[in-house]
Amino acid sequence: MIGIGLAAVVVLGGGGYTAFRAVENANAPKTAEPLSLPEMGALAGGDFSAAADPKTDALKEAAVQAYRADKLKDARSGAKTGFDWVEVKKKAPGGNGFPPANFPPGSTPSPGSNKAIARSMLASAGFGADQWGCLERLWQKESGWNERAMNRYSGAYGIPQSLPGSKMASAGPNWQTDAATQIKWGLGYIKGRYGTPCGAWGHSQSTGWY
């Protein structure tokens, strides 16, 4: 019901505010809520919640509905803006007590290399080679395999589009800038919540998010 209600607000015009607040929160480390003791414990234990989170799921649903509403508006007006639902950040966002971070000087995103890293990590994450096709399509849709991608509507960040991005800190302190760290977290999230990349891809196909 939360997701449906929030989606309705988005379609009727409240989506801009919801999206604005989500992105604002993701980019405002000075005003962000500090990590709670349970969250700090989860980070130390290497797990930052792969379980269903109604609040986060509602934000994901709202982001999808806002994007669809914008696409529909463009179609009706005949506009061809060519906008994507992610933007490539020039500075890695902070949030939840983490300050923004600069990307390594001279470094540029390499989707092809990121895919190779992910493919090499499948087995260690407990997935068979048959899961690669689903993972490749899932993260292509989510981020274009770009470690600097941020969702314009929800503020989700990185290759696996973690919401908030700081959840990936459980996989490594360089989560803001390192593709391998983001991939490691993303594979763990998929396994914990959906079982397999194909399970996550199926959910994404039916809802628009995972």
pLDDT in tens, 127-167: 999 999 999 999 999 999 999 999 999 999 999 999 999 99
Alpha-carbon gap, residue 63 to 57, rounded angstroms: 10
In DSSP terms, 151 is beta-bridged to 86
Count helices and strands (H / E) in the chain. 8, 2
Each residue's pLDDT tens digit, 44-74: 344 444 667 899 999 999 999 999 998 888 7
DSSP 147: T
Prediction pTM value: 0.76
C-alpha–C-alpha distance, residues 21 and 65, integer Å: 15
CB 33 within 8 A of CB 160: no
Query: If we measure between CA atoms, which residue out of 164, 159, 157, 151 comes closest to residue 109?
Result: 159
Long-range contacts of 179-183 (CB under 8 A, 24+ apart): 179/109, 179/110, 179/113, 179/114, 179/117, 179/147, 180/117, 180/121, 182/147, 182/158, 183/114, 183/117, 183/118, 183/121, 183/159
Which sequence spans correspond to the domains of the chain? 2-207
